[in-house]
Amino acid sequence: MSEPLRILVVEDEALILMQIEMMLEEAGHRVVGTAVTAREAIALIPETRPELVLIDLRLGDGSSGIDVAHAVRDLGGITAAFMTANARAIPEDMEGATAVIAKPFSDTVLGASLAYLKDCVRRPPPGAEVPSGMRVAPNWLASFAEMRA
């Protein structure tokens, strides 16, 4: 694997957070920070300079992952993806995020999703098909198609 992705994980359930961290590290990526609330995540972004932010929808203190997605979109230059068991609650345009990964996910699904997102970050457009269990925002799909053309 080439240079590992710098990833910020935003997830309010400590055990799930720990599990995702383990999965990411085993897949050869680098978790540069973890946050359990939207406020914590937004504060950590400039400090940790992630390339990819993985965001749970329901966060601690009743905050929402959508706010984190907005902050990422406003900063620009960083890729965001939701991870949620309730993918239907994510608006169609995904609020600036690139994709939604459906929970629960296996190692294989997470691996394929991360490979796809790594292409999005490092050398868009991604070469692979969108992995099953993952949905990509329509505006991103359109811009990938434009790049390929």
Partner 1 sequence: MEQPDAWHQTDRLDAEQGKGDPFAAAVRATRMAMIITNPRLHDNPIVFANDAFLRMSGYDRSEVLGRNCRFLQGEHTDRGSVALIREAVEARTDIAIDVLNYQKDGTPFWNALYLSPVVNEAGEVLFFFASQLDVTDRIDAHLRVQQEKDHFEAEVARRTRDLTEALATQTMLVHEVDHRVKNNLQMIAALLSMQTRAITDPAARTAMEAMLTRVEALGTVHRRLYQSNNVERFDVAEFARDLATDLVRGSGTDRIRLHLDLEAVEIPVSKAPPVALMMNELITNALKHAFPDDRAGRLSVTVAPDDTYFTIRIADDGVGMPVQVMEHRSFGKRLIGTLCRQLSASIAWQANDPGTVVNVRLPREMAGSLEAS
Query: Can residue 132 be called a binding residue for partner 1 (CB under 8 A)?
Result: yes
Site string for partner 1, 81-110 (x = CB under 8 A): ----x----------------x-xxxxxx-
| Strand partners of residue 99 | 81, 136
Shortest Cβ 144–partner 1 spacing (Å): 19
Which helix (H) or strand (E) segment holds residue 32: the answer is strand 30-35
The strand order across the sheet containing 99-102 reads: 30-35, 6-10, 52-56, 79-84, 99-102, 134-136
Query: Can residue 65 be called a binding residue for partner 1 (CB under 8 A)?
Result: no
Interface residue with partner 1 among 18, 75, 145, 147 (CB under 8 A) is 18
Alpha-helical segments (H) within the chain: 14-26, 38-48, 65-75, 107-122, 138-148
Query: Can residue 27 be called a binding residue for partner 1 (CB under 8 A)?
Result: no
Give residues in contact with partner 1 (CB under 8 A): 13, 15-16, 18-19, 22, 26, 85, 102, 104-109, 131-133
